[in-house]
């Protein structure tokens, strides 16, 4: 049985990605808030591989570092001579491995663990299974040539195909499963005798057939295997990702006022019964409890929000924000590394950075935590039940005791004791009747000036 044999995964990611026209390596472009390569590694990891090898190009230290961070080994292909050559470069890292090898291309961000599992299962009774699909427009894809029994005979690249072969709709999506020993043999036989002068991995199918071995194609859902080669294709993959994410969150009981205007990341977690208004963006690392209200036009990233909280409209919650139960964050409020405990409120026009706000504290409109002195960041601590008046500047590091009150307009540079009132502004003075006298004087001057003209 194929499923019970040990599995190794090779992801080919060394291509230049020139069609992306971007300094960022193609496989690090994001889809659903994570690099394309990360999506593939995650889908493949669900199959429990013993080894995962990512083939990277010579100037792709960033890709190698990303692979290492995900627990994969990197093999360098220098310089890239095609997908077959890329697979050859992974062989040293496969040394001593016996079992099945799953080879994937690094530019298919929508692959699912389910599709990969079905591909591995499709190999039963054959020597090689290939991930195929039937795109609406087969355009540049390799065409799969089948025999009368439905067996896979060969893959012909579009550039090498005859008119008759180009008419075939079933195409290569870029995924192969075969025995490690057979893979080593077949890769050893590749030649670069084709239109692009490259070593094609697709030619291993011909090699298997030459040995009288059976190869099969698994026709996967086209959305799952969408390849990204250009910015337009990245955006198209993103659109499919978002459509899937919206459907999945709604199926889990999340209320989306206008689904098409809400954008998710792959790791966005939202509890049932939470309501999300129009035009909300979830960057990576967001987890929202059940029964939260997020009003329109909010941007959240690296944040957790507890039950009963109300966010927005027009709020920006940045990384490290921990929003407690029943907290209110209102319009034009920005938080960063801010912990707000149960029932705290910051309803208007406020910046809360590097701060902890105790339960039930009220942060008035226009309050700013001055957390940066131009060199270092400093923390502000606001105790439970404190009342911070409007337009207060809290110059960190500073502590406001529990239950303390800060008068509006204060610039607070020293700690304030619990239950004290702190006021930092000049005393108000008043001149009785001054405004009326001033009005009369200036009105007379203006009238005199008008007469002269």
Query: What residues make contact with ligand UD1 under the rule CB under 6 A?
Result: 12-15, 55, 77, 80-83, 85-86, 105-107, 141-142, 155, 157, 171-174, 200-202, 227, 229
| Cα distance between residue 142 and residue 168, in whole Å | 10
| Cα distance between residue 407 and residue 422, in whole Å | 6
Are the CB atoms for 132 and 141 separated by under 8 Å? no
The partner in contact with residue 83, picked from Ca ion, ligand UD1, none with C-beta cut-offs of 5 to 8 angstroms by kind, is ligand UD1
| Cα distance between residue 181 and residue 109, in whole Å | 29
The partner in contact with residue 207, picked from ligand UD1, Ca ion, none with C-beta cut-offs of 5 to 8 angstroms by kind, is none
CB 22 → Ca ion: shortest distance, Å?
A: 15
Q: Which residue is nearest to Ca ion (CB)?
A: 227
DSSP for 35-102, please give it: EHHHHHHHHHHTT--SEEEEEE-TT-HHHHHHHHHTT-EEEE-SS---HHHHHHHHHHHHTT--SEEE
Residues engaged in binding Ca ion (CB under 5 A)? 107, 227, 229
Task: Between 15 and 38, name the residue whose CB sits nearer to ligand UD1.
Answer: 15
What's the CA angle centered on 314, arms 310 and 319, to 5 degrees? Answer: 75
| Cα distance between residue 280 and residue 342, in whole Å | 24
CB 21 → Ca ion: shortest distance, Å?
A: 15
**Under 8 Å CB-to-CB from 272, ≥6 apart: which residues?**
252, 253, 254, 290
Active-site position among 81, 85, 249, 348: 348
| Cα distance between residue 290 and residue 264, in whole Å | 17
CB 105 → ligand UD1: shortest distance, Å?
A: 4
**Pairing label, strands 368-370, 393-395:** parallel
Task: Between 58 and 140, name the residue whose CB sits nearer to Ca ion.
Answer: 140
The partner in contact with residue 132, picked from Ca ion, ligand UD1, none with C-beta cut-offs of 5 to 8 angstroms by kind, is none
- Indicate the SS3 state at residue 244: helix
Task: Between 107 and 381, name the residue whose CB sits nearer to Ca ion.
Answer: 107
Residue 249 annotated in active site: no
| Cα separations in angstroms, 393 against 51, 387, 405, 406, 453 | 54, 13, 13, 10, 49
Task: Between 10 and 256, name the residue whose CB sits nearer to ligand UD1.
Answer: 10
CB 294 → Ca ion: shortest distance, Å?
A: 37
CB 271 → ligand UD1: shortest distance, Å?
A: 36
CB 295 → Ca ion: shortest distance, Å?
A: 41
The partner in contact with residue 85, picked from Ca ion, ligand UD1, none with C-beta cut-offs of 5 to 8 angstroms by kind, is ligand UD1
CB atoms within 10 A of CB 37: 25
Task: Between 106 and 330, name the residue whose CB sits nearer to ligand UD1.
Answer: 106
The partner in contact with residue 410, picked from ligand UD1, Ca ion, none with C-beta cut-offs of 5 to 8 angstroms by kind, is none
| Cα separations in angstroms, 5 against 47, 105, 182, 230 | 11, 22, 15, 37
Task: Between 75 and 225, name the residue whose CB sits nearer to Ca ion.
Answer: 225
- Indicate the SS3 state at residue 197: coil
The partner in contact with residue 318, picked from Ca ion, ligand UD1, none with C-beta cut-offs of 5 to 8 angstroms by kind, is none
Residues acting as catalytic residues:
348
């Amino acid at each position: 049985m194929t499923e019970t044999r040990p599995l190794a995964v090779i992801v080919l990611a060394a291509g230049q990605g020139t069609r992306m026209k971007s300094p960022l390596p193609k496989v690090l472009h994001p889809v659903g808030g994570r690099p394309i390569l990360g999506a593939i590694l995650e889908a493949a990891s669900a199959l429990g591989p013993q080894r995962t090898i990512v083939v990277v190009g010579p100037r792709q230290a960033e890709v190698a570092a990303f692979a290492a961070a995900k627990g994969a080994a990197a093999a360098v292909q220098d310089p890239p001579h095609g997908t077959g050559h890329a697979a050859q470069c992974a062989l040293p890292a496969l040394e001593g491995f016996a079992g099945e090898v799953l080879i994937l291309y690094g530019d298919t961000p929508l692959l699912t663990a389910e599709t990969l599992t079905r591909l591995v299962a499709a190999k039963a009774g054959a020597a090689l299974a290939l991930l195929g699909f039937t795109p609406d427009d087969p355009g540049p894809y390799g065409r799969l040539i089948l025999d009368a029994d439905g067996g896979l005979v060969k893959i012909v690249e579009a550039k090498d195909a005859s008119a008759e072969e180009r008419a075939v709709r079933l195409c290569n999506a870029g995924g192969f499963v075969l025995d490690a020993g057979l893979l080593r043999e077949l890769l050893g036989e590749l030649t670069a005798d084709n239109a692009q002068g490259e070593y094609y991995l697709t030619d291993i199918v011909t090699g298997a057939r030459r040995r009288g071995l059976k190869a099969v194609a698994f026709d996967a859902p086209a959305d799952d295997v969408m390849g990204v080669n250009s910015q337009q294709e990245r955006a198209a993959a993103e659109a499919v990702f978002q459509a899937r994410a919206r459907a999945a969150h709604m199926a889990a009981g999340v209320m989306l006022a206008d689904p098409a205007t809400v954008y998710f990341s792959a790791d966005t977690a939202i509890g049932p019964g939470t309501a999300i208004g129009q035009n909300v963006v979830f960057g990576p690392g967001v987890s929202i409890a059940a029964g939260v209200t997020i009003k329109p036009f909010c941007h959240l990233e690296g944040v957790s929000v507890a039950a009963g909280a109300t966010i927005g409209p027009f709020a920006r919650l940045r990384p490290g924000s921990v929003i407690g139960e029943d907290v209110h964050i209102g319009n034009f409020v920005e938080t960063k590394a801010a912990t707000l405990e149960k029932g705290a409120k910051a309803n208007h026009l406020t910046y809360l950075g590097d701060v902890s706000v105790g339960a039930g504290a009220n942060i008035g409109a226009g309050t700013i935590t001055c957390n940066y002195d131009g060199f270092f960041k400093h923390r502000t601590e606001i105790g439970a039940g404190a009342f911070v008046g409007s337009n207060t500047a809290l110059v960190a590091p500073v502590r406001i005791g529990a239950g303390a009150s800060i008068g509006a307009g204060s610039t607070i540079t020293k700690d304030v004791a619990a239950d004290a009132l702190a006021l930092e502004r000049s005393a108000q003075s008043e001149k009785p009747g001054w405004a009326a006298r001033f009005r009369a004087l200036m009105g007379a001057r203006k009238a005199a000036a008008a007469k002269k003209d």
